């Protein structure tokens, strides 16, 4: 009987250790998955933000060019020579 109790205790301890190892493995796997997922999401957000910034800068450049053309036309209509500023 004592041998049976000893065997059961060892099996129980082995089972506990196995379960702890499995839990640790699951934790590490989940942690790595969440890290990878967060990294991918962060990179995607950064890419989208960069695209939005590029689009805003393109729009600002177009608006500046349109304003410059408007001002040149206005100066020309008023007979003001803007050629000294043409190279800027």
Q: Is the pTM of this model over 0.75?
A: no
What one-character-per-residue DSSP string does the chain give? -HHHHHHHHHHHHHHHHHHHHHHHHHHHHHHHHHHHHHHHHHHHHHHHHHHHHHHHHHHHHHHHHHHHHHHHHHHHHTT---GGGTT-
* Rounded Cα distance, 29 and 34, in Å: 9
* Each residue's pLDDT expressed in tens, for the chain with a length of 88 residues: 777 767 767 767 777 777 887 888 899 899 999 899 999 999 999 999 999 999 999 999 999 999 999 998 999 899 888 776 655 5
* Rounded Cα distance, 29 and 78, in Å: 73
């Amino acid at each position: 009987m004592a041998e049976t109790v000893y065997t059961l205790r060892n099996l129980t301890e082995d089972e506990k250790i196995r379960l702890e190892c499995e839990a640790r493995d699951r934790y590490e796997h989940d942690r790595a998955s969440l890290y990878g997922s967060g990294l991918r999401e962060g990179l995607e957000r950064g890419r989208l933000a960069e695209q939005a910034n590029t689009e805003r800068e393109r729009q600002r450049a177009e608006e500046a060019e349109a304003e410059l053309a408007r001002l040149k036309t206005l100066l020309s209509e008023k007979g003001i020579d803007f050629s000294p500023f043409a190279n800027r």
